[in-house]
Amino acid sequence: FDKHYRLRLHGMFTESAKRHSSRMNVAKSGYRVFSANSTAACTELAKKITERLGVELGKSVVFQEPNRETRVDVKESVRGQTIFIIQTIPRDVNTAIMELLIMAYALKTSCAKNIIGVIPYFPYSKQCKMRKRGSIVCKLLASMLAKAGLTHIITMDLHQKEIQGFFSFPVDNLRASPFLIQYIQEEIPDYRNAIIVAKSPAAAKRAQSYAERLRLGLAVIHGEAQCAESDMADGRHSPPCVRNTTGHTGLELPLMMAKEKPPITVVGDVGGRIAIIVDDIIDDVGDFVAAAEILKERGAYKIYIMATHGLLSADAPRLIEESAIDEVVVTNTVPHEVQKLQCPKIKTVDVSMILAEAIRRIHNGESMAYLFRNITVDD
Amino acid sequence: MPNIKIFSGSSHPDLSQKIADRLGLELGKVVTKKFSNQETCVEIGESVRGEDVYIVQSGCGEINDNLMELLIMINACKIASASRVTAVIPCFPYARQDKKDKGFFDIPVDNLYAEPAVLKWIKENIPEWKNCIIVSPDAGGAKRVTSIADRLNVDFALIHKERKKANEVDRMVLVGDVTDRVAILVDDMADTCGTICHAADKLISAGATKVYAILTHGIFSGPAISRINNACFEAVVVTNTIPQEEKMKHCSKIQVIDISMILAEAIRRTHNGESVSYLFSHVPL
């Protein structure tokens, strides 16, 4: 099963590349690919994608003026063409969003036929639910993108699949799992002795889909991470929870019981195995470090983390370096060269292949179904 | 005043506080912060259901961050059933990029003028104002400058760029006579200050005794501050649409006109359904 799948994955892409390069000479224009990022680190992915497609990146200039306003100048005609804008989201999120909006609007007012945003990591996807008196920023962003002129979006591993519903135009939510699974099979020598771990019950569905495809077992971590300060007499048990039973003022509504968080625990047997934690985003690594601790305690001898989007904010590289984690594998949807320099445990998997293939298929009006062949319902 | 709430974004909390003080209100509770991945997070801290909400956010500093913050705050208020949400944007960002498309909005826009406050400042701070001359640093500002000159009953002049041949650098030509007069340069914004510093040199060499610069929005990015320090201004006066405290520490020539009362009065009048056009020619007390 595995070998055939891997060969087919490779074969599919190389075949298409050969077919396409001859086709490219016949139908010269018809689509252009632009990058709306202003920094070199961010345009790396765009360059890889255009190399695979055999096209040149569209000529444009994106920069910040001294007064911090973003300026976008498109230097070629786009009239009547299908345009793909590749935008990676770096540390400066709001500026990247503004760059994308301005470029999309510039293309719309220059009479581009279709404007397709290729946004591998979609920002603000964690702010997709109502929280007290907050804003559903994801919905706001979706409305803004539509208004700016985007007609279609290609993204990868959306944090919540339901976000697709916020958009008034088609959203192609590609998956990185085939690449991460391939990495596991090729780069982890003893992977058949591994077990897939979900670092919280919320991640169980995704972990399950990996476990199924790799024919491995599953474990789930549950509970509150201990504050393992040295002050604590016994680090294994949190102090007894004081329940809040203050009287309520006349409203006859029943008080909601506070959920008691049990101490952190692993459901499933990881003794003598390699533990592979899978998730969509790795940002603040506190949870991952705590999970690695408990897995080591329960007998796992190696710990890997596979995540699609490696945001790795703040102290993440240092914390990973000092932790029980052996390797962190992320894709190149989010630039993380700086973090890699600080922490050699971080490895990158290139997903430009599938993004380029998606662009090609959309332009040619071909079915995208092949790209989703080996994806389970829960992925 | 019932049913009104004023919130401040993080771009210019000082101005928002002044506005709220003038209206006799407390600023609404709101928490704005950034997650570690630099995404903006906004949480409104009190009920806005059925309220007339005003959000004060200026387009300065980290413009994209402040813009996003403003959009998220507006969105949050709408979702929380505010009856009306008005954005008070003293310095409107990206206004220079689309000179052709200025003012393309689907919603009501009140564009206030700093002119009344500028006139008041001139009369109170420039002793020789009756004999001064108002100068525009480029041809585009002629209308603005003549309006002020007429109200003060003084003369005006303007500087325009003249290009003699294709490869020659533009010359700055002064149209009007400034000999032995106090010259007051007036413009809407000062960004890198290249233009106004050249203009000041031109005016001094043409015989002006003193040169003032009065600009509505003092963006002062890049080499602006050092240019002003090296130029021959008596004073550079800006309004507080953009926070100026930091810059004033580095440049003693900068003075600030407070326009919080104009914004506060506009908010009050909009809330009460009164006419705002009174503010186009008068400074509220």
Set of chain A residues whose Cβ sits within 8 Å of the Cβ of B96: 69
- Residue written as token pair 């960004």: B191
Q: Are strands B210-218 and A82-86 parallel, antiparallel or unpaired?
A: unpaired
A241 has a pLDDT exceeding 90: no
Residue A113 and residue A82: Cα distance in Å, rounded?
5
Q: Mean of the pLDDT values across residues B139-150?
A: 87
Closest chain A residue by Cα to residue B81: A133
pLDDT interval class at A332 (50, 70, 90): very high
A27 has a pLDDT exceeding 50: no
Q: How far is CA A318 from the centre of its chain?
A: 21
Set of chain A residues whose Cβ sits within 8 Å of the Cβ of B64: 68, 70, 92, 94-95, 97-98
What tokens were used for A276? 């592979």
Inter-chain touch A134–B37, beta carbons under 8 Å:
no
A227 has a pLDDT exceeding 90: no
Q: Which of A38, A67, A99, A336 to probe the B interface (max B CBs under 10 A)?
A: A67
- Residue written as token pair 């780069």: A187
Set of chain B residues whose Cβ sits within 8 Å of the Cβ of A280: none
Q: Are strands A82-86 and A31-35 parallel, antiparallel or unpaired?
A: parallel
Q: What is the pLDDT of residue A1?
A: 40
A65 touches chain B (CB under 8 A): yes
Residue B194 and residue B171: Cα distance in Å, rounded?
14
Q: Mean of the pLDDT values across residues A145-153?
A: 94
The count of other CB atoms within 10 Å of the CB of residue B102 is 10
Q: What is the pLDDT of residue B141?
A: 84
B7 has a pLDDT exceeding 90: yes
Query: Who among B43, B97, B219 is closest to A134 (CB)?
Result: B43
Inter-chain touch B39–A137, beta carbons under 8 Å:
yes
B68 touches chain A (CB under 8 A): yes
Let me know: does A363 contact A357? Beta carbons within 8 Å.
no
B267 touches chain A (CB under 8 A): no
Q: Write the single-letter amino acid at A122.
A: F
Q: What is the pLDDT of residue A330?
A: 96
> Which letter does DSSP use for residue A246 in this model?
P
What tokens were used for B108? 């009501």
Alpha helices in A215-282 (DSSP H): none
Residue A160 and residue A126: Cα distance in Å, rounded?
8
Q: What is the pLDDT of residue A232?
A: 32
CA distance A92 to chain B (A): 6
> Which letter does DSSP use for residue A263 in this model?
B
Inter-chain touch B222–A131, beta carbons under 8 Å:
no
A144 touches chain B (CB under 8 A): yes
pLDDT interval class at B281 (50, 70, 90): confident
B97 touches chain A (CB under 8 A): yes
Residue A159 and residue A150: Cα distance in Å, rounded?
21
Cα angle: A135, vertex A137, A138; to 5 degrees: 140
Write the DSSP string, A164-200.
GGG-SS-EEEE--HHHHHHHHHHH-TTGGGEEEEESS
Q: What is the dihedral of CA A107, A111, A113, A114, to 10 degrees?
A: 20
Let me know: does A307 contact A329? Beta carbons within 8 Å.
yes
| Cβ under 8 Å to B: A residues 6-45 | none
Set of chain B residues whose Cβ sits within 8 Å of the Cβ of A144: 71
H or E element that contains A8: helix A2-26
Q: What is the pLDDT of residue A21?
A: 44
Q: What is the pLDDT of residue B168?
A: 61
Q: Round the average pLDDT of chain B to a whole number and report it.
A: 89
Inter-chain touch A136–B75, beta carbons under 8 Å:
yes
Q: Write the single-letter amino acid at A95.
A: T
H or E element that contains A206: helix A204-214
A129 has a pLDDT exceeding 80: no
Cα angle: A223, vertex A224, A225; to 5 degrees: 120
Query: Who among B43, B44, B62 is closest to A68 (CB)?
Result: B62
CA distance A321 to chain B (A): 19
B277 touches chain A (CB under 8 A): no
Q: Mean of the pLDDT values across residues A273-285?
A: 93
B110 touches chain A (CB under 8 A): no
For chain B, give the secondary structure using H, E and C: CCCEEEEECCCCHHHHHHHHHHHCCCCCCEEEEECCCCCEEEEECCCCCCCEEEEECCCCCCHHHHHHHHHHHHHHHHHCCCCEEEEECCCCCCCCCCHHHCCCCCCCCCCCCCHHHHHHHHHHHCCCHHHCEEEECCHHHHHHHHHHHHHHCCEEEEEEEECCCCCCCCEEEEECCCCCCEEEEEEEEECCCHHHHHHHHHHHHCCCCEEEEEEEEECCCCCHHHHHHHCCCCEEEEECCCCCHHHHHHCCCEEEECCHHHHHHHHHHHHHCCCCHHHHCCCCC
pLDDT interval class at A243 (50, 70, 90): very low
Cα angle: B192, vertex B193, B194; to 5 degrees: 95
Q: Which of B11, B33, B47, B64 to probe the A interface (max A CBs under 10 A)?
A: B64
Q: Are strands A152-156 and A70-74 parallel, antiparallel or unpaired?
A: unpaired
Q: Mean of the pLDDT values across residues A35-44?
A: 90
A44 has a pLDDT exceeding 80: yes
Tens-place pLDDT, residues B185-206: 999 888 889 889 999 999 999 9
Residue A25 and residue B167: Cα distance in Å, rounded?
42
A58 touches chain B (CB under 8 A): no
Of B19, B96, B82, residue with least CA distance to B51: B82
Q: Which of A39, A64, A65, A69 to probe the B interface (max B CBs under 10 A)?
A: A69
pLDDT interval class at A133 (50, 70, 90): confident
| Cβ under 8 Å to B: A residues 82-111 | 91-95, 97-98
Q: What is the pLDDT of residue B242?
A: 94
Residue A163 and residue A157: Cα distance in Å, rounded?
11
- Residue written as token pair 């995208």: A368
Query: Who among A69, A92, A132 is closest to B38 (CB)?
Result: A92
Range name among A54-68, A207-221, A250-264, B235-249 with the lowest pLDDT average: A250-264
pLDDT interval class at A369 (50, 70, 90): confident
Let me know: does B163 contact B180? Beta carbons within 8 Å.
no
Please tell me whether the overall predicted TM-score, pTM, comes out greater than 0.90 for this model. Answer: no
What tokens were used for A52? 């695979």
pLDDT interval class at A224 (50, 70, 90): low
Q: Which of B11, B39, B47 to probe the A interface (max A CBs under 10 A)?
A: B39
Residue B138 and residue A151: Cα distance in Å, rounded?
42
The count of other CB atoms within 10 Å of the CB of residue A289 is 18
Residue A146 and residue A132: Cα distance in Å, rounded?
26
Q: What is the pLDDT of residue B85?
A: 95
| CB-facing half-sphere around the CA of A247: CA atoms within 13 A | 2
B89 touches chain A (CB under 8 A): no
Of A226, A205, A215, residue with least CA distance to A297: A226
Set of chain B residues whose Cβ sits within 8 Å of the Cβ of A135: 42, 72-73, 75-76, 79
What tokens were used for B124? 């109170």
Q: What is the pLDDT of residue A91?
A: 87
A135 touches chain B (CB under 8 A): yes
Report CA torsion sign: B247, B251, B252, B254: negative
| Cβ under 8 Å to B: A residues 300-339 | 311, 313-314
CA distance B116 to chain A (A): 27
Set of chain B residues whose Cβ sits within 8 Å of the Cβ of A93: 37-40
Inter-chain touch A133–B97, beta carbons under 8 Å:
no
Q: What is the pLDDT of residue A264?
A: 84
Closest chain B residue by Cα to residue A131: B43
Range name among A25-39, A85-99, A210-224 with the lowest pLDDT average: A25-39
Strand partners, A85: A34, A117
Contacts of B106 (CB under 8 A, 6+ apart): none
